[in-house]
Amino acid sequence: MLSSLPTVIIGAGPTGLAAAAHLHEYDERFLILEKGSHAGSNIQEWSHVQLFSPWEYNIDRAAKRLLQETEWEEPVSDQLPTGGELVKEYLEPFAALPSIRTNIVYHAEVKAITKKNIDKVKSDSREAAAFILFVNINGSIKKIEAKAIIDATGTWNSPNPPFADGVWRTEELINKLHVNIPNIKEEADRFKNKHIAVIGSGHSALNSLIELTDLKAAFPDTKISWIIRKQHISETFGGEENDELAARGSLGSKAHQLVDNGLLHIHSGFYVDEIKEQDNSFVIQSSDGISINGIDEVIVNTGARPDFSFLKELRLDIDPTVESTKELAPLIDPNLHSCGTVRPHGEKELRHPEAGFYIAGVKSYGRAPTFLMATGYEQVRSITAYIAGNMEESAKIKLKLPQTGVCKAREVPKQLQIIEVNAGDSCGKTSCCC
C-alpha cells in the first residue's frame, strides 16, 4: 500500500535534514538520498564564508529538540557561523543521530523520478500510484518507491551565467571561471597583484569584493573591477543599518565604503555579452561594445538556478519567469520586489499538480534571490504536517522573518537623498517587506 512507503527526501542539507526531523516527530517513515559523502556536502564548498544570519535562524526547531536529547552543545544563538561551522556543529551531529543516520544513503544521485507504471501523460489512478526514483548509488542504478517526495537539492551546482542573456557559452569556459565564492585568503597567490573582475550584485559578490580589498591592502597592485547590470551602484547596498540582520546590513555598508574610498573600479549598467581569452588574460565585452581588458581572474557571483532535469516525468507547476511554483512566484519575483524577505508560506504555496511532490529550500525560490534557511524550515514544517495528515498544523504560520530595511530604492537627483520606502500599512499583507 502507498501509505506503507517512505517519504523520500532528496538532499541532506539544512532543509532536507529539517524535513527528516519533522517526519520523525510524526513517526513517519523517511529516507534521505544525498549525492555527497556526508551531510551538508555542498556547504563544505563554501565553508570559509560567514553567514549573515545568526544561529537562532539556522537551527530547525524539530532538529533542535532531537539534538537536545543528547549531549549536543548548542551554539550561542546570536553568533554568526561560517559554512564549515554550520556543518560541524549542527548538520553532522544531527545526521549522526541513530534515528536519522539509519535513514540516510550517501553517494546517491537521483537521475529520474516517475510514477509506478505511469508516464507523465496518463491521468487514471495517478494519485494512487507510488513514486519511483531511479538512483545512482555508488555506480549502480537502484529503483526506490516512495509515497511522497521532498526535493531539497538546492541550486549550488547550477550557477547562473555571467551573461546578460542568461545562456552559458561553453562548458570549457565554466571551468575557467570562479562560479562560487573563492577562498581568497587561502588562495592568495592566485589573486594577489592581479586584475580581478567580480560579476554580480548580491551578497555573494559583496563577500568576494570585501575579501579582495583585504587582499589589496596587503598587495596594493591588486586591481578589482566590479561589474553589475544595475544602473546605479546604490541599488546594491540594501538596507545597511536598517537591516534587522546586522551582518547582512553590514555587507552593504562595507561595500558602500569600498566604493566611497575608490578601492573598486565600478562598471554599472554593464551587460556582459562575451568573455574571451586573449594574451593569457580575459576580455569582458558588453552588448554596447565596451571592453574591459587584461583581466586575470573572473569571479561570477550571479546567483544560481534550479535543475529540473531529473523531474521531467512529473507534473510540475513552474512559473515561467521565476521558476518557483506559480502560487509563490508573485511573492518573490524580483521584478516586483527588491527586498529580501517574503511572508511565511508553506505546503499550499509549494503544492504541485503531482500530488505528494514538493520542492523545498532555496530551490523552491527558483531564480529569485535572498533565501533564508529559516524559510526552508518553515516550508518543511508545513509540508511534513500535511504529509502526516495534520491539516490544521500544516495551515499554520510559525515564522517571523527579519526585515531587510529596504523595500524599493529609487535613484533621485543628486541634491536629494535616496528615499527608502517603509513597509507600514501601505505594503499590504502580501508584501515581501511585511
Beta carbons of 323 and 363 less than 8 angstroms apart: no
Q: Give the span between the Cα atoms of 427 and 275, in whole angstroms.
A: 41
Inform me whether the pLDDT recorded for 263 exceeds 70. Answer: yes
Residue 6, number of CB atoms within 10 A of its CB: 18
Give the model's pLDDT for residue 81: 95
pLDDT, averaged across the chain: 88
Inform me whether the pLDDT recorded for 411 exceeds 50. Answer: no
The dotted CATH code for 171-300 is 3.50.50.60
Give the model's pLDDT for residue 408: 42
Domain boundaries of the chain, sorted by first residue: 2-157+304-395, 171-300, 407-434
Which CATH code of 3.40.50.720, 3.40.309.10, 3.50.50.60, 2.60.120.1130 fits the domain covering 2-157+304-395? 3.50.50.60
Write out the three cell numbers for 95: 545526521
Inform me whether the pLDDT recorded for 247 exceeds 80. Answer: no
Same CATH topology for 2-157+304-395 and 171-300: the answer is yes
Give the model's pLDDT for residue 371: 85
Inform me whether the pLDDT recorded for 183 exceeds 90. Answer: yes
Q: Give the span between the Cα atoms of 431 and 75, in whole angstroms.
A: 33
Model-wide pTM > 0.85: yes
Using alpha carbons, select from 152, 109, 166, 53 the residue that is nearest to residue 364: 152
Q: Which residue has the cell 542568461?
A: 166
State the average pLDDT over residues 246-254.
Answer: 75
Inform me whether the pLDDT recorded for 202 exceeds 50. Answer: yes
- Tell me which range, 227-241, 309-323, 410-424, is most confidently predicted by mean pLDDT: 309-323
Give the model's pLDDT for residue 363: 98
Give the model's pLDDT for residue 418: 27
